[in-house]
Amino acid sequence: MHHDQDKSPVSFTASVTRLPQKGMPVVIDADARQREALAVAHGLVSVERFHAELLVAPWRRNGVKVSGRVEADITQECVVTLDPLHSRIDETVDGLFLPEDSKLGRLGFDGGGEIHVDAEGPDSPETFSGDTIDVGALAEEFFGLGIDPYPRKAGATLAGRGDDEASTGPEGPLQEKLRQLRRKD
């Protein structure tokens, strides 16, 4: 039993011992409890949906390649108005894993020069021990990358809805407040 705090809320361990050549599909649909934990972990108001479709496939001799996509519907607080903002996340998931004890894992990418990773691929492989990989945690990493750190309501027009109230410019209410404060001096 390992302690849960360093485990991803959407943790999903895939056994990589006998992966089919064409890969093993994994689908992760977060339940209410997991979505709440995700929201807390990423500072969101809520996560309405978290859905990952991944393919866990053998790579080179003992490596594993995880690819797929993660989609989510989240609610954040607008940094300006503090209103709830709904946004959709749709990220491509891409990861390479090598066994910790593999020669490649130890040498890294410069020793031996035998690994050439395509420029579009992930930066460098992560290592794993044992015969399982937490593909849920990987999906969560990419979910995290898709979250806008500064959600702004003014962007509402971006969604093509053209909300009238949002057309006052990004800092509507805030600028107004600042102006009033300055007047008092």
Counting every residue, how long is the chain?
Answer: 185
Between 115 and 7, where is the model more confident? 7
Token duo for residue 46: 């809520």
pLDDT tens by residue, 33-50: 999 999 999 999 999 999
At 177, the pLDDT band (50, 70, 90 cuts) reads: low
Look at residue 29 and tell me whether its pLDDT is greater than 70.
yes
Between 175 and 44, where is the model more confident? 44
pLDDT at 173: 62
Helix (H) or strand (E) holding 39, with range, is helix 32-41
SS3 state at 13:
strand
Cα separation of 173 and 92, whole Å?
36
Mean per-residue pLDDT, 101-121: 51
pLDDT at 68: 98
pLDDT at 100: 82
pLDDT tens by residue, 66-101: 999 999 999 999 988 889 999 999 999 999 999 887
Between 100 and 177, where is the model more confident? 100
SS3 state at 139:
helix
